[in-house]
Amino acid sequence: MNHPIFGRLSSSKAKDVRGSRERYSFGIDANDTCKKRELGDPKAESNPVKCPMCNGNHILPRCNRFQRESVEGRIKFARKNGLCFNCLFRGHIANSCPKYSFCKVTGCKVKHSTYLHPKANISVADKSCGPDALPTEFEEPQTSDHPTPKKSTSAQIDVSGAGVSNIGLPIVPVKVKCAQTSKVVKTYAFLDSGSNTTFCTIGLLSHLGVQGRETELALTTLHQEDHKIKTSVISLEVFDLEENNMVELPTVFSTERLPISESSIPAQKDIDKWAHLGDVKLQSINAPVGLLIGNDAPRALEPIEVRRCDGRGPYAVKTRLGWTINGPLGRNGTSSRCTHFIRSDPELDNQFKKFCDMEFSDATVESKLEMSIEDSRALGIMEGSAQLKNGHYEISLPWRNIPVHLPNNRPLAEHSLNYLRRRLVKNPNLLAKYSKVMNDLAKNGYSRKVPEDLIDQPQQPLWYLPHHPVFNPNKPDKLRVVFDCAAVYHGTSLNNQLLQGPDLTNSLIGVLLRFRENPVALMADIEAMFHQVRITPNDFDALRFLWWPNNDLNVKPEEYQMLVHLFGATSSPSCANFALRKTADDNANDFDHSISDIVKKNFYVDDCLKSVPDDQEGVKWQRSSPNCSVEVDFT
């Protein structure tokens, strides 16, 4: 069958994905405008119904043109074309129509269609659909004198007819951005409280100019279990239209389309008719629904204010992204009934197996593959450029190509800084923490202001780094400023131009096993490990960034440079580990060989885990190892 979100689903049952988090989203569309052939009527296949007004493939009550006519115009058309005033088909009159009266107006005893009932006398039996809603004609008229019962073999239900009220869904206009680019796209977002997964359309990613990382989902719908499909996953940022609030969407899966009708998007005219929503203002944009935000982003769905309906009409919920309207809108039309049940499990088998092979397989650790050509080139650059200056190793950035060709991406950095400024202005506490980090970078010699004589005469390559704040959920008071080396401008980024270098990190399983050899445990770490390794002066201009002098947001931003390898640069882990190992090699003759072995075997990135037989050995190690690191300022 064809699924409204994920297309064709096969009949085979996919294997169980164990240990993965189940994901749910909601999107099965029970279309109100289903025809007889969708309900399994063979006659409808050979004799499709033609509308007598527009000649379309639908019955007259579903004709938009007919619905727009006045009651007098509809009566005139039905009389002129010899139609039954009850079922609106030819061949008989209302008195001899085999169907019961289609008029659902309270107290009306005339056998006619609701479409032909004078408006002045309308009193709807079920008023839950709004002040202008007309009742639904639940059965499709029969053309024969003897009606034939319908046998439905489809998930669709025929509920179309006069005056079906559209149902408003919690849909808000938003701005969407990916951290990798500066482009901002407006779209509508459906805030789906029944989903634990967030989706976006492939079209939205195309407009943003980004692509996600390919992965696989195992979906469960009402008719299919654990069907695997190809998709992609990416991280996005979503804002309200004024950009007063931002919500991060760390895990967003792509899909061809979202089965949400535009008729379900509430408009200002829909709520103006309801007194209890008088002060609620909605914004509108010319865009489709390109985003479905689930409960994995609770800040987007969290109610800030609620306007109750008290049993009449829709209710309103104010969220960080704007007001949402939920319930019957009182707008007449052909509405699509939607129920939602999709369960999606990320396919993690391959990723988990790969992780286990890398971290917990002795066979893999002991039989390492030879270096690739690119890794050998990167290692050669490190060995050829490494110099000890003022207590720090200085290592060139391992460029993929020489000379390096990078476009001037200052416009990207300026756009990112303007957005950052808006956040800092609204959050003085964030500004204070951000300013402290910037001051510490300069104080520790990790960054500097670009000298005046070099601002207009940069050395190539030249690149400006966007930067933004990141908080660790486990350390909410600690702010890290991340320089975005993956930001793309004109099809390239800094990371695209750098070689990753060989993986010189010790295996985690080896470090942990050696840590458990003896009863006395010792632990240490290297503070700001990447920043302890400097870059060569020729690379300074490749790490330029914009900031305000003296942290004053009211003055013009100036140009600064990072002087060290960065967290986020693809080459930094390899360069930092190379410098750490070189520290042990260069100081091997000055210290006991066990100290060199500790540096080479007991470090996992910047963390050292060591065990010794007794306290005396631990004291000896503690007194010796810092002296080695001080020689190169690795403390």
* 530-589 pLDDT per residue, tens: 889 999 999 999 999 999 999 999 999 999 999 999 988 999 999 988 988 888 888 777
Locate the domains of the chain by residue range: 2-29+168-345, 35-153, 401-630
Q: Which residues of the chain carry a pLDDT beneath 50?
A: 1-21, 24, 26-46, 121-163, 335, 341, 343, 347, 359-368, 628-632, 635
- For domain 2-29+168-345, give the CATH number: 2.40.70.10
Residue 598's pLDDT is 78
Distances from the Cα of 537 to the Cα of 134, 493, 542, angstroms: 76, 20, 10
Distance CA(67)–CA(555), nearest Å, equals 60
Which burial class, exposed, middle or buried, applies to 298 when counting CB atoms under 10 A from its CB (0-12, 13-18, 19+)?
exposed
Residue 634's pLDDT is 54
Residue 595's pLDDT is 72
Distance CA(529)–CA(524), nearest Å, equals 12
Residue 548's pLDDT is 94
Residue 624's pLDDT is 62
Distance CA(412)–CA(238), nearest Å, equals 19
CB of 383 closer than 8 Å to CB of 149: no
Residue 222's pLDDT is 60
236 is written with which tokens? 């996005």
**N- to C-terminal Cα separation, the chain:** 62
